[in-house]
């Protein structure tokens, strides 16, 4: 038995509250294990037992997922007294072992009264991770305001470049997209099937992307006014569309009032501790902070890092979020560089914002495993980069369906069950190449979008991906939305196919749930076949046609005819 592959800790990664009555316990083993079970009971049951000993109940565990090198076993238990103590029993068909917290033991040495057992101390209602329920039904659309739409009748402004012109581009170029322009295009967004709008930063900044904020209390005049934002939110809400703003609290811009005061007064400034300054001689004309004179985002001196451990800094930033939610009725906040702000800050913010609007969505930008932020006290969700990488690997490389299944199972196994359906999923965004750039044709992009919209999570489409817009690097990944060409019908055929995929997700609740079952055919490794409840989905990423034997109705397809699924095609079956 490969005992070194067995792992469990009685921490939120492996034992967590699903609801106020249920604890989920998971065990990771090697692939040699054929059966796993749990022995559990209240930790104090020995005090009322007839012989004064602890006796546990035995129950088999469910094989929840197959990963690349492990099996994941799971069970849901409803402890009547809210407490749980337990150990595991496993077998590879030849040998039986008991897994305790201190070390494994052969089952021949086992009794219910030896070994250090695992313990889930108490099922507190406040520890239950409960993301806003509306997220399961939300399809997001990400917009960079400067590049989306300049409103009709906007005054000429010499600082704005001609819409869409990328000749002799400068990274400081602005095009004049604004909040009123976004409001004008809400019917387009709604028709696409979108019911969640994520705006990259809108506050005063000298850059076009606004991720170096100079004034968190003033909407950038290039984008409009506070009244324009309120009108956008109100109009969007009347159409059933949620609004999420970008909170850049890891760092500020150089024009931020606190940083300006520090530049002027140095250590005498009351805002000195709002930043991480390590050198008395920190004021230098150098674009990088690799000398560590002060900490900044990614060594860029123009983005000094905010000290969110500092109470006054936290007071200020939390006050901003409460204002957005209370006075503007914002539905969600994305936290830029969300893994570098202080946990203490996030816990305070979570409590104070949720006290105003309990179903506010708090989402952290984190590119790696983020389970320690998903604890019911910090973020409701995080950016699911692992899913993005997995979709890219399957569609753009020779990845096979078994490898894809392993990695999707890892995505699902990484977080609490109630969090997975609300993870922020995407295939491209403002920090990455446009999805079409890595596809050999538009049909492959449709396959990616189908995967995005049929996997557990709250999917987000980057503006223009529905056309599709091209771009490998900035500024092309952040180009202006080509409204003249859209209105002339240039992209209608493809965008209508995207709309149909989004509509399918809205129509079929199975596509918004947690369960994903892969059917692996090693003889056709580039055929991806999976089930979402009663819905059955096939994608052909190979070069040759594949015969599909399905006894259900075709709900949606691309390159599928008379039972043959051609290269780069897909077919979705169900009982409609």
For residue 336, indicate whether it is catalytic: yes
Task: For residue 365, indicate whether it is catalytic.
Answer: yes
In this predicted structure, what is the pLDDT of residue 481?
A: 98
Structure-block tokens of residue 514: 């947690």
The answer for residues whose C-beta is within 8 angstroms of residue 111's C-beta and 6 or more apart is: none
Considering the domain delimited by 3-127, tell me its CATH architecture.
Answer: Sandwich (2.60)
What is the predicted pLDDT for the residue at 402? Answer: 94
* Ramachandran category for residue 329: left, alpha or beta (phi over 0 → left; psi -120 to 50 → alpha): left
Q: What is d(CA 542, CA 526) in angstroms, rounded to the nearest whole number? A: 5
Residue in 331, 336, 378, 568 annotated catalytic = 336
Domain 133-248+319-512 class in CATH:
alpha beta
For residue 21, give both structure tokens: 């009555």
State which CATH number among 3.40.47.10, 3.40.228.10, 1.10.3720.10, 2.60.40.1180 fits the domain covering 517-574.
Answer: 2.60.40.1180
Q: Is 492 helix (H, G, I), strand (E, B) or coil?
A: helix
Mean pLDDT of successive 10-residue stretches along the chain, which has 576 residues: 94 93 97 97 90 91 96 98 96 95 82 78 93 97 98 93 93 96 98 98 97 98 98 98 98 98 97 97 93 97 98 98 98 98 98 98 97 92 96 84 94 94 97 94 97 98 98 94 97 98 97 95 94 96 93 95 96 89
Distance of CA 48 to the CA centre of its chain: 46
Provide the pLDDT for residue 51: 83
CATH of 251-307, one of 2.90.10.10, 1.10.3720.10, 3.90.400.10, 3.90.1530.10: 3.90.400.10
pLDDT at 504: 98
Largest CA distance in the chain: 88
Whether residue 365 contacts residue 352, with contact meaning beta carbons closer than 8 Å, is answered with no
Residue 394: the pLDDT is 82
The pLDDT of residue 300 is 96
Residue 109: the pLDDT is: 63
Please name every residue paired with 119 in a beta bridge, in sequence order, or none if there are none. Answer: 85
| Catalytic residue (choose from 214, 365, 407, 558) | 365
| Domain definitions of the chain by residue range | 3-127, 133-248+319-512, 251-307, 517-574
**332 has which bridge partners?**
244, 361
pLDDT at 29: 98
Phi, then psi, of 274 in degrees rounded to 5: -75, -10
On the question of a common fold for 133-248+319-512 and 517-574, the answer reads no
């Amino acid at each position: 038995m490969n005992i070194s592959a067995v792992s469990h800790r009685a921490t939120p990664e492996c034992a967590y509250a699903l609801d106020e009555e249920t604890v989920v316990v998971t065990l990771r083993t090697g692939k040699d294990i054929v059966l796993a079970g749990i022995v559990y009971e209240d930790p104090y049951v020995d005090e009322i037992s007839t012989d004064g000993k602890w006796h546990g109940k035995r129950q088999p565990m469910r094989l929840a997922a197959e990963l690349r090198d492990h099996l994941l076993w799971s069970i849901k238990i409803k402890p009547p007294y809210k407490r749980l103590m337990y150990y595991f029993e496993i077998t590879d068909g030849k040998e039986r072992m008991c897994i305790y917290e201190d070390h494994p033991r052969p089952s021949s040495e086992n009794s219910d009264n030896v070994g250090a057992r695992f313990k889930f101390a108490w099922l507190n209602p406040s520890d239950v991770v409960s993301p806003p329920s509306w997220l399961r039904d939300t399809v997001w659309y990400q917009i960079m305001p400067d590049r989306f739409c300049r409103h009709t009748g906007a005054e000429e402004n010499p600082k704005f470049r001609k819409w869409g012109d990328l000749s002799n581009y400068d990274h400081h170029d602005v095009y004049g997209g604004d909040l009123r322009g976004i409001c004008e295009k809400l019917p387009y967004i709604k028709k696409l099937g979108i019911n969640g709008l994520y705006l990259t930063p809108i506050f005063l900044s000298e850059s076009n992307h606004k991720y170096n904020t100079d004034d968190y209390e003033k909407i950038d005049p290039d984008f409009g006014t506070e009244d324009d934002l309120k009108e956008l939110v109100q109009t969007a809400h009347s159409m059933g569309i949620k609004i999420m703003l970008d909170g850049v609290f890891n760092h500020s811009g150089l024009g931020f009032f606190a940083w300006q005061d520090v530049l002027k007064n140095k250590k005498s400034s009351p805002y000195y501790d709002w930043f991480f300054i390590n050198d008395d001689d920190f004021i230098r004309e150098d674009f990088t902070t690799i000398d560590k004179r002060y900490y900044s985002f990614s060594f860029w001196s123009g983005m000094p890092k905010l000290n969110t451990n500092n109470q006054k800094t936290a007071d200020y930033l939390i006050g901003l979020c409460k204002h957005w939610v209370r006075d503007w009725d914002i539905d969600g906040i994305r936290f830029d560089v969300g893994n570098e702000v202080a946990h203490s800050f996030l816990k305070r913010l979570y409590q104070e914002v949720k006290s105003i609007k309990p179903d506010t969505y708090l989402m952290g930008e984190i590119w790696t495993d983020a389970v320690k932020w998903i604890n019911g006290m910090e973020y409701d969700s995080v950016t699911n980069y692992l899913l993005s990488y997995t979709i890219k690997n399957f569609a753009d490389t020779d990845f096979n369906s078994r490898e894809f299944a392993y990695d999707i199972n890892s995505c699902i196994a990484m977080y609490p069950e109630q969090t997975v359906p609300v993870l922020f999923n995407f295939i491209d965004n403002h920090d990455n190449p446009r999805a079409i750039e890595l596809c050999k044709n538009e049909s492959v992009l449709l396959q990616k979008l189908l995967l995005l919209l049929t996997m557990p999570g709250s999917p987000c489409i980057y503006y223009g991906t529905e056309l599709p817009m091209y771009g490998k690097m900035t500024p092309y990944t952040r180009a202006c939305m080509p409204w003249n060409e859209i209105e002339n019908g240039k992209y209608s055929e493809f965008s209508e196919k995207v709309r149909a995929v989004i509509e399918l997700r809205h129509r079929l609740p199975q596509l918004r749930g947690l369960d994903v079952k892969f059917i692996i055919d090693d003889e056709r490794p580039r055929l991806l076949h999976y089930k979402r409840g009663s819905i059955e989905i096939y994608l052909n990423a190979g070069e040759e046609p594949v015969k599909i034997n399905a006894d259900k109705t075709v709900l949606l397809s691309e390159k599928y005819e008379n039972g043959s699924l051609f290269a780069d095609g897909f077919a979705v079956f169900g009982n409609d």
